[in-house]
Amino acid sequence: MRSTAWCAAALKELGRGGFGRVIEVELPQSNSLWIRRSEPRRYALKLQLKQHPDQAASEVLALQRADHPFIVHLVHAFSFSRFFALLLELCPTDLNRLLCETADGGRSLGLESQVAARYMGQAYLALTHLHRNEKIVFRDVKPENILISDQDQAKLTDFGLAKVVTSAERMQMCGTMGFLPPELLSVEGSFINSNEGAGSPDGRRNPGSRSSAGWDPFKADAYSFGVTLQVALLGEDGARKKTIRRKGPMMLPMNLTEADNAELLAQLRENGRLSPDAYALLVDHLLPHHPARRSRLTDAEVLNHPFFLQELGCEDLEKHLLPECYQKS
């Protein structure tokens, strides 16, 4: 990131979190070498206080490495006196906001299964790209970190907690309460970004660590993805909606035991609210509490699972969703 006298017109706040806020900006007309006149003039500007430099640096490095159609595009990075600033492609909404929209009767019932399969399939391909090609674990999969572009495509965002996995180092435990896999909750001093504001005033706790030889960080992403999929499919039938100060309505997990959650999903399957394929993907592969029983997202039994193929009417998820230039030859 470099220092600059760059300025832009702020239009509105898009969101805020533990490390800063995101605002919509419009760039002035200029002869800048890094913005062509044919490019959009409106962007999302993420401002992060310099008291968290590691988070900003981690996000920039991850976004620079991850070229993928379902990952938000980093346009430029700046350094100001008080903030690090990331200029990102502008997406008008996110999955959480869509899920919090109410249907008849005042309840939020999730997305239609085909829509959920498409958005979550796109997020899934972004995550498997990170896992397989970049060896990056995302560590904060949740609805508000899945943006929806003006082309109606899901885009993974907020890489502040993303981490390149190596066999030699100890991994920091972090994520958002409710979406964290059970194996991380037992780590004393874990870094937890709590949507409920628990713990310290900003919902953060001191980092802990565990040897990478004793657990699988990629399976942690699989669990968080499974929780997000359940929320996307079921809304308030499989989650709870709560208004969080300074954030607004949030769709949050129920924090049930594995057995109780499986029983809930079985009931919803029996009454036709959840398809058998979705139930099998969640209960058998993504949401087991013990990592040994949970799949990686890149495992053959998850890649091209019948849930995605049946809902999207295709035979290969990557060929169906990815632009041809990104497909494996």
Which residues have a catalytic role annotated?
140
Tokens of 152: 């109606």
DSSP string, 161-181: T-EE--SSSEEEPEEETTTS-
Q: Is the backbone of residue 134 left (phi > 0), alpha (psi -120 to 50) or beta? A: alpha
SS (H, E, C) 24-91: EEECCCCCCCCCCCCCCCEEEEEEEECCCHHHHHHHHHHHHHCCCCCECCEEEEEECCCEEEEEEECC
The helix (run of H) or strand (run of E) holding residue 263 is: helix 258-270
> One-letter amino acid identity for 212?
S
Place of tokens 């060929």: 319
DSSP 295: P
- Give Cα separations from 126 to 16, 25, 84, 141, 202 (angstroms): 23, 26, 25, 11, 29
For the four alpha carbons of 9, 195, 219 and 235, in that order, the dihedral sign comes to: negative
Backbone angles phi, psi at 2, to 5 degrees: -125, 155
